[in-house]
A and B are shown apart, each in its own frame.
Chain A
Amino acid sequence: MRNNKKGQLGESIQDLVCAIIIILLLVIFFIASNTLWHGSNVEIKKLSTKQAITNQEHISLQSWLQKPVTINKDGENDKGDTIKISELIILAHSNPSYMPILNEEAKKAFGEDYELKLLSANEILQKRIMPVFAGPSILFIPYVKEAGTLFYLPSRSKEKIIFVNLIKKK
């Protein structure tokens, strides 16, 4: 009878220890999953960095379009004509002789890492949705695939719109 009681007590303790171990395991799993399996945080950090870069590119292109530039300068005594980059783009779009000045200005402003393109409507890539795996669920986040930064300029030549596209070289 006494042995039986001892055995039962031992069994109860064993059950209790098992329960504690299971609870501890669950707690550890819960903490570890939040700290180690941080899919969402990493993806969000990547995404916010990407977003910050595109914002910076957008502002850079916007202010560059307003920048004054001197063209048609013949010799040192000639003052040339001062126009804005946006106007130079309109000229370069229909007259390729202005392209070298435009490319030079773009290189000065954005460096070798970026490419400036004057595109037509069908060359513009459409906006897409990117799935981001964040833990057990998936987030769908809108983004522009490889389109870079975009501004529009008016024209009355063949193409009625000039798509000014600044894109990072791969």
Chain B
Amino acid sequence: MNKIFAKQFNKRALAFGWGMVMAMIIFMSTAWFAFTTTNQKISAEITPLSILEDYYKEQDRLIAYSETSSKLALSQSFYQLAKDSAIDITNSCKVINNVMVWNNNCHPNADFVKQKFLEYYDTNFNSFMLEYPNKMDITYTNVLENTTLISRASPVTFSSEKQGTFAKYNFTYNFEPSIKINLTEQGISLEDFESIYNKILECNKKIECFQKINLENWDISTESQGSWFLFKLKTKKPFIFYENDIENYAPIELNFIIEL
């Protein structure tokens, strides 16, 4: 009787012991699981935030860079246009002492000025954008609408992939780094070239009249050289421009000759 009772009790103790072991395993694995899942959750929350913040910052950097590049390209293009005396130098225009002569055949024309300015701007702006440290494939379409220059950009996509313990995260962020700049606010007036020529025409080759010409954005100095008259114009506002890769911060010059 006693032996049977002791055997039954031993079985119970054995079951109890195994139960304890099982309970401990369950508790330990629950605790471990809780730790790791909490950290995974935190990691999952932190990672997208830091990735998104990096994307926002890169967007800000790109926009700041492209806006400054656009302004530099504008002043550089304006300088190049003024250096050409705002006429088509590929035409056989008359040149005296390395200065272009404005006459009936060669004189600034509003459409040509706009087209040439945009041409210079395209080249200058693209050369700046090519130097951007984090290479991006962006195509800009530049348009002049009255006094506003619009550089329409193709959308930029940032994307990355991260493999978590329980899931794979894909991050995609799109934005359009288009730029809109008012040329008048930058001190650039493309209409000036044609209006200067029209004012000169109105003078009907009278020297006194030439000397009285007054322009809003330009300072004028003139030199009479017998059969021709040299106009040396300088913008009132200084610009940043490059001459043989040397940086200048100075007024832009426009020189041309009118034959008497």
Mark A residues whose CB is within 8 Å of B. Answer: 1, 4, 8, 15, 19, 22-23, 26, 29-30, 33-34, 40, 44, 47, 51, 55, 58, 62, 65, 72, 81, 86-87, 90-91, 94-95, 121, 134-137, 139, 141-142, 150-157, 160-161, 163
Q: Interface residue tally of chain B, by bracket?
A: 35 or more
Contact A1-B2, Cβ < 8 Å, known A51-B50, A94-B247, A157-B245: yes
Could you give 17 example pairs across A and B, Cβ below 8 Å?
A29-B31, A30-B30, A34-B34, A51-B50, A58-B60, A62-B60, A90-B247, A136-B32, A139-B39, A141-B46, A141-B47, A141-B50, A153-B65, A154-B72, A155-B247, A157-B245, A157-B246
Let me know if B39 and A62 touch, CB within 8 A: no
Instruction: State which residues 27-66 of B face A: CB under 8 Å.
Output: 27-28, 30-32, 34-36, 38-40, 42-43, 46-47, 49-50, 53-54, 57, 60-61, 64-65
Q: Which residue from chain A places its CB closest to the CB of B54 in the assembled complex? A: A142
Neighbouring B residues of A19 by C-beta, 8 Å? 16, 20, 23
The number of residue pairs between A and B whose CB atoms lie closer than 8 Å in the complex comes to 114
Contact A22-B38, Cβ < 8 Å, known A8-B9, A91-B240, A156-B245: no
Q: Does B131 contact A (CB under 8 A)?
A: yes
Q: Looking at the complex, which one of B30, B42, B246 makes contact with A40 (CB distance below 8 Å)?
A: B42
CA distance A4 to B6 in the complex (A): 10
Let me know if A47 and B247 touch, CB within 8 A: no
CA distance A45 to B57 in the complex (A): 21
Q: Does B242 contact A (CB under 8 A)?
A: yes
Q: Looking at the complex, which one of A4, A30, A157 makes contact with B27 (CB distance below 8 Å)?
A: A30
